[in-house]
Each structure stands twice: as structure tokens, then as C-alpha cells.
């Protein structure tokens, strides 16, 4: 979190639109921090998006004339998203998928590990550790200001009220 993933996705979508590409942006319906019909970065930029609940729903909404399919918060999707996005890429669509590669425990998050292996390009953005200022590769979940226990549910939608960016050294699991 806080590394600029959504901002980068929006930048790529805007560039594609300037190039007169046909773009569809999807997000998982679990992402409720912004309007259901948009993605929004912590820094403010926004873009139109369609909220979907599953990889099957996403596939059913992809239009044949689309050039680029962009997916936000890919870690929330079911395992079928891997096959869905690979199928779209194989069919000639350009696919851009963003998401957290690790959950708050520092473990692979949902389908992301499989997507990383299959991707032609992987861009890992880093946030800044709130403790020391180094590059942060982890998401620290907090409950009442303390590290969340490992037994906490994997998915808790939120932002700064529940999460901090941390480096490996300062990341803790309660």
C-alpha cells in the first residue's frame, strides 16, 4: 500500500486513451474506499472503472473492440483471474493488473504469485517505511496502533486507518 500502484495504473490508462486505444478498467467489488464506478489513488487521481465480484463476471464484460484490459486490486479476485487474464493476453488484449503481492503477514496474496510468474513485465513499486524512511515492501496492518495478529482475516479493506508501509526490518505480525 501507498506505493503508487493505482496512480501508475491511472497514468497508463490515460496514456492509452491519448493514443486512442480502447480501454476497460475493472476493480474488485470488495474495494469500497472509492465510488463503485471509479478507482482513486491516495494522491487523488481518479479513473472510471467497473466493479466486479469475480473473474467470470470480468470476462463476461470485456468487449471485443477493447485494446487494453486494466484490473485494479487483483489480489482480491478468485484463482480464476489467472486463467482469465492469461486468456485475454493470449487473445491479443493488452492486460495491466495491479495489486499487492503480499498480505499483511508477508505471504503471497491470493492469485498474485501466479500472475507474477506469467507476466511479461513486472513493475514492483515501493512505498516509504513510516518507521525509518527506507523502501517499504510490506503492508503493516494495525489494530489500535499495534500489529494485527496473524489470525486476523486476510482481507480488511482500508487505508491509513488500518495500514502502514513498512520495510522488512520494521514489519511485524502480532
In the residue annotation, 38 being an active-site residue is answered as no
Read off the C-alpha cell for 100. 499487492
- The x, y and z cell numbers of residue 81, run together, are 483471474
User: Exactly one of 73, 94, 161, 164 is catalytic; which is it?
Assistant: 73
Residue 27 neighbours by CB under 8 Å, 6+ apart? 39, 49, 50, 51, 52, 71, 72, 73
* Residues with catalytic roles: 73
Amino acid at each position: 500500500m501507498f506505493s503508487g500502484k493505482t496512480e501508475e495504473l491511472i497514468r497508463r490508462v490515460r496514456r492509452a486513451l491519448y493514443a486512442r486505444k480502447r480501454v476497460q478498467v475493472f476493480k474488485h467489488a470488495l474495494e469500497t474506499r472509492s465510488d463503485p464506478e471509479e478507482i482513486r489513488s491516495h494522491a487523488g487521481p481518479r479513473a472510471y472503472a467497473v466493479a466486479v465480484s469475480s473473474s467470470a463476471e470480468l470476462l463476461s464484460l470485456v468487449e471485443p473492440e477493447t485494446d487494453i484490459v486494466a484490473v485494479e486490486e487483483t489480489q482480491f479476485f478468485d484463482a480464476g483471474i489467472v486463467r482469465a487474464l492469461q486468456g485475454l493476453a493470449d487473445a491479443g488484449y493488452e492486460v495491466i493488473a495491479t495489486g499487492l503481492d503480499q498480505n499483511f503477514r508477508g505471504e503471497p496474496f491470493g492469485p498474485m504469485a501466479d500472475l507474477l510468474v506469467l507476466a511479461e513485465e513486472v513493475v514492483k513499486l515501493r512505498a516509504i517505511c513510516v518507521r525509518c524512511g527506507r523502501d517499504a515492501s510490506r503492508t503493516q496492518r494495525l489494530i489500535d496502533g499495534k500489529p494485527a495478529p496473524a489470525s486476523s482475516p486476510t482481507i480488511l479493506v482500508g487505508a491509513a486507518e488500518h495500514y502502514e508501509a513498512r520495510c522488512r526490518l520494521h514489519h511485524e505480525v502480532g
